[in-house]
Structure 1
């Protein structure tokens, strides 16, 4: 069971000083706050029918990725992530600050990159038609994929592109492992800051869900929502993939104060675990255990969960939430879809945004799971339970 370590003199306080959001609901904090309060949900039920997706809002990439050459050599998920990272740096007031950026750590949660479907299809068709001579496969890969596109399949290229475009050149880590990677990215960033190993970090992930090969992958596991959109708590099984980029600037209180930065909130704790999921109730038990270790949760608290809608894990998470029915909960999957690696960072971002705005955004649920909150939240627990593996929690608090 993974905990956040501390330095011998006690853990340093970690502040969230920058938030970068670009999703199906729009770009930037004001656009997202307005959309959440209007209970906006943007879904596409036709382009990839019968599958439902939350498509990316239209971005003018030049605003954060000024060089067209940089844009061309990135796949869509990298452009989305690099864009969101720029928004986070702007939000924190450190965009272009070479001194800070040169020692800023970066921790990214990433998937396996995107496929060139035209090349894949042509190779498969040639093989089926008997036109694949020895060496055909390697020859086509070398000739049909330009080098930059081939390299773009590497997961750590998102971090590389953020370094190139925004000048973030401290240490760099890329975690893979779907939702659990997002939990660990936040957990390691907090651990490094709390222990004094790092002063400031850029943490986040990106997801392009408008991808046929991604939908095919999840269809093999019967995870895709089909035909008509439903809010998370009204689903029998399945998630609608959601496009988005989410990045956070997390830094020590001392570092933030020294540069005059104001926090949205503080990140007090991040813990992770992994239920065996062999018997019914395993996930509920793990969430119970995480809750007992996350910290003291008071009355002015709320929950933001990345619940996917996938069965049986969401039903088990719902059983956990039933034990805390007086604590207002919100499922990000209803408005944003499931952003996989980015889902946990999204929860932390929305928690910090809600605390900074002095309100929890309204419930968007007719199943009775989510209740309204009339007072400002002083604490928000962020929950992540992966559709297949991995559980985590974060405690976000007012400063």
Structure 2
């Protein structure tokens, strides 16, 4: 019998909150974190899109990262360290790292932490420095700051996690795939504790210009708070967001032995590949449906047990419909009983961090038996036959299961399912 895995700590920094609880409170209240960008480079490059979901307060105000540390980390790494330290403290370990904690063996603590793009600010700023000021002015720490595994490495160093430190890079499915890997690390016996999650800090003129050229971004510049509108007939693209989230996963026996507070059980996960198109999802949703079925098998639950879905729901015309199709393929008529929330309507799309942010919200949904809001849904697309939550709603009492979906460029599909605990 496989080991049961539970969630004992949560951390987040996002457009709607600099902690997991603040983010959750704002998600229940329907608060938008999307604003107009006021940076000089918006006008300099004549960007066609200049709205995004920035973190809701500067990282310099974080109690979890010092100024000295921040200088040696890309913004994506700063957000990652903030979220991991917050989650670690939330989990109630006796020390600041695995060596200092009496209940931990550092060789049984692992990191599985994701990103979609990595240190893009460091990479592009360093290229500008090289061109304008020469090689002697390039920072010595440039490579560790830009490499995609930099965040996982920083977390492992901070917390003395010596089992393994791995990085998942699967576009917008990355954060959820990191949780899948964390589950496997504990079930296989490789680790007792895993720090998992995802980070992204790519609100930079190049990614904005590139996504805009793909016609993937909303151009509703005059109404930032209303731009991200999953499932609405007037949706015209996603809104970029930034931030990070971390979840502390533990084997149930390890958590109970140290008397930890348990948020929820990570019941199961599922991953699959569309092998269909580099950017577009399979219109039939079969790959996504397979990941949902795999999560059910992995977690030993049925479609009838699922009461809530935190959907990937990016607000793109081509993306929202296949996900709705996939839910129907996997869950059948039971889909009618599921309260579906599209929280990117408030946070924007955090790319490689999206799955981690949304998994944190899904954990809190099963803890509180509440589904968060979906804002900006004024005229639902008739092709999307789902019960979409437009105002925070109570979920059924008793034991419940909720799932979080993530789908990424390249055809990556990932699902995490969480079960409530008494």
The TM-score bracket by the shorter chain reads 0.7 to 0.9
Q: CA RMSD in A?
A: 2.5
1:389 is matched with 411
Give the match for residue 354 of structure 1. 365
Partner of 2:255: 256
> What pairs up with 1:106-145 in 2 under 5 angstroms?
106-110=111-115, 111-116=117-122, 117=124, 119-121=126-128, 140=134, 142-145=135-138
Name the CA distance, whole Å, in 1 between partners of 2:282 and 2:159: 45
Q: Which runs of 5+ in 2 are unaligned?
A: 297-301, 381-385
What CA distance in whole angstroms lies between the structure 1 residues aligned with 2:306 and 2:290?
21
SS of the residue corresponding to residue 109 of structure 1 reads strand
**Distance in structure 1 (CA, Å) of the matches to 2:37 and 2:344:** 19
Partner residue of 1:38 out of 29, 47, 57: 29
Q: Deviation per CA, 1:84-108: give whole Å up to 9, x if none.
A: 1111101111251524272310011
Q: Distance in 2 between matches of 1:150 and 1:12?
A: 38
Deviations 1:73-125 (A, max 9, x none): 1111111111011111011112515242723100111223124555534666x
Paired with 1:350 and 1:280, the residues of 2 have a C-alpha distance of 24
- Summarize the Cα distance change of 1:179–1:363 in structure 2 as closer, same or farther, 3 Å threshold: closer
- Which residue does 2:378 correspond to in 1? 366
Instruction: Return closer, same or farther for 1:162/1:61 CA change in 2, 3 Å cut-off.
Output: farther
Deviation at 1:154, TM superposition (A): 1.1
**Is residue 293 from structure 1 mapped to residue 291 from structure 2 by the alignment?**
no
Provide, for residues 187-224 of structure 1, a one-character-per-residue CA deviation record: whole Å limited to 9, x for no partner: 11101212222111000111114222221332343322
Find the aligned partners of 1:115 and 1:293 in 2 and give their Cα distance: 36
Please report how far the alpha carbon of residue 355 of structure 1 lies from its aligned counterpart in structure 2 after TM superposition: 1.3
| 1:197-212 alignment runs, 5 A limit | 197-212=190-205
Shift of 1:232: 1.8
Q: Residues 232 and 307 of structure 1 are in contact (CA less than 8 Å); yes or no, is this contact kept in structure 2?
A: yes
The whole-number CA distance in structure 1 between the counterparts of 2:281 and 2:178 is 28
Match of 1:195 in 2: 188
Secondary structure at 2:303 match in 1: coil
Aligned to 2:76: 77
Q: Structure 1: any 5+ residue segments left out of the alignment? A: 1-9, 127-138
**2:264–2:366: 8 Å Cα contact kept in structure 1?**
yes
- Give the match's secondary structure for 2:337: coil
Q: TM-score, normalised by structure 2?
A: 0.81
Contact 1:313 1:385 in 2 (8 A): no
TM-score when normalising by structure 1: 0.85
Aligned residue for 1:317?
323
CA contact (8 A) 2:52 2:239 kept: yes
